[in-house]
């Protein structure tokens, strides 16, 4: 098959004629625009691009992108996306899911697409609630969350999507939030990664979990609580006045103060996207004592699942004749003739 050809497109080329039907103010609008603005910068081809989703508010996404799309069933989008990629490895696959769709009924399927390392971009919209089914607690809802299914407060310990992805064997893990101007950069890095690229996107549910991320994602005033990671750069935040260092005795991360820009003397870590151990520590940092780690947390490619499948097919078929009739007649076979009235 031919390699994908980069095309010149604009945001308008990726907008459909469908009415976008999310609640006014929903963070999904911002994510949609971020993706539609990013695709032209990637040189993506609408005829070679597929958006695949499961069930939930986020899963309406394929209707709103002018490309191929598949709105599948609850939690099974990774299985459909894997089949599409194996059928045509040249397609550019974007999988869209939510915290409920991807980590509840779909947790098993999400785990396997990550560990297999199927080459696609996986965007998990995390609003810490079931939005489409009217606000029940989801797998990522915080302890104490009051909802129709947890009227006196949730006692579940929430799942952490980025930690789940790393534990499942993902080779790329990124984080962003809906209205961030840096989200397109995370999407570009995910697209450049060959393999399963997992991006957790914090998304404001304006109706059922409004402003739950405002402590680090508010349009103004929350920048000091964001740690935007960049490969090869020191882990600094709060305008460069604080940083993240490694306590080598306790093997834990710690926040340090920086005086006069001298981050080296207090041991601030320089981000290395291939360091899996530090990535685990970053996704487990408790917000409050620590900032929210955002950007590309981990990026260390390895061979993809579809490449292994193609190689196996080529080896197994090398030197063999493509003859279906001969294959069917192989082994213990026999021919039956005659009729029920006159059997032979």
Q: What is the pLDDT of residues 173-209, one digit of tens each?
A: 999 999 999 999 999 999 999 999 999 999 999 999 9
* Amino acid 153: pLDDT: 92
pTM for the complete prediction?
0.91
Strand partners, 287: 290
* Amino acid 342: pLDDT: 66
* Amino acid 29: pLDDT: 97
Q: CA triplet 205, 143, 129: central angle to 5 degrees? A: 20
How many alpha carbons fall within 13 Å on the CB side of residue 312?
Answer: 7
* Amino acid 2: pLDDT: 44
pLDDT by residue for the chain (344 residues), tens only, comes to 445 567 899 999 999 999 999 999 999 999 999 999 999 999 999 999 999 999 999 999 999 999 999 999 999 999 999 999 999 999 999 999 999 999 999 999 999 999 999 999 999 999 999 999 999 999 999 999 999 999 999 999 999 999 999 999 999 999 999 999 999 999 999 999 999 999 999 999 999 999 999 999 998 888 899 999 999 999 999 999 999 999 999 999 999 999 999 999 999 999 999 999 999 999 999 999 999 999 999 999 999 999 999 999 889 888 888 888 887 777 777 777 766 666 55
pLDDT tens-digit readout, 89-147: 999 999 999 999 999 999 999 999 999 999 999 999 999 999 999 999 999 999 999 99
């Amino acid at each position: 098959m031919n390699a994908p050809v980069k095309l010149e497109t604009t945001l308008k080329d990726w907008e459909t004629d469908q009415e976008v039907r999310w609640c006014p103010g929903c963070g999904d609008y911002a994510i949609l625009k971020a993706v539609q603005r990013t695709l032209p910068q990637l040189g993506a081809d609408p005829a070679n691009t597929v958006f695949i989703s499961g069930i939930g508010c986020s899963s309406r996404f394929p209707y709103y992108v002018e490309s191929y799309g598949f709105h599948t069933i609850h939690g099974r989008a990774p299985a459909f996306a894997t089949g599409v990629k194996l059928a045509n490895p040249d397609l550019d696959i974007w999988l869209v899911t939510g915290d409920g769709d991807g980590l509840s009924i779909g947790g098993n399927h999400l785990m396997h697409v990550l560990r297999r390392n199927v080459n696609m971009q996986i965007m998990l919209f995390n609003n810490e609630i079931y939005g489409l089914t009217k606000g029940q607690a989801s797998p990522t809802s915080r302890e104490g969350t009051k909802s129709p299914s947890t009227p006196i407060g949730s006692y579940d310990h929430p799942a952490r999507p980025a930690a789940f992805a790393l534990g499942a064997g993902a080779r790329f893990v990124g984080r962003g939030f809906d209205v961030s101007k840096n989200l397109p950069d995370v999407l570009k890095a995910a697209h450049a990664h060959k393999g399963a690229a997992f991006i957790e996107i914090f998304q404001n549910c304006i109706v059922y979990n409004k402003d739950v991320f405002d402590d680090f994602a508010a349009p103004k005033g929350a920048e000091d609580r964001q740690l935007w990671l960049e490969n090869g750069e020191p882990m600094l935040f709060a305008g460069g006045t604080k940083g993240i260092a490694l306590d080598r005795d306790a093997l834990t991360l710690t926040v340090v103060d920086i005086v006069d820009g001298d981050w080296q003397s207090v041991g601030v870590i320089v981000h290395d996207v291939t360091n899996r151990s530090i990535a685990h520590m970053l996704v487990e940092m408790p917000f409050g004592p620590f900032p929210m780690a955002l950007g590309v947390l981990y990026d260390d490619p390895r061979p993809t699942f579809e490449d292994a499948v193609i190689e196996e097919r080529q080896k197994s078929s090398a030197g063999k004749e493509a003859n279906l009739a001969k294959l069917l007649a192989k082994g213990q076979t026999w021919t039956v003739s005659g009729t029920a009235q006159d059997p032979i």
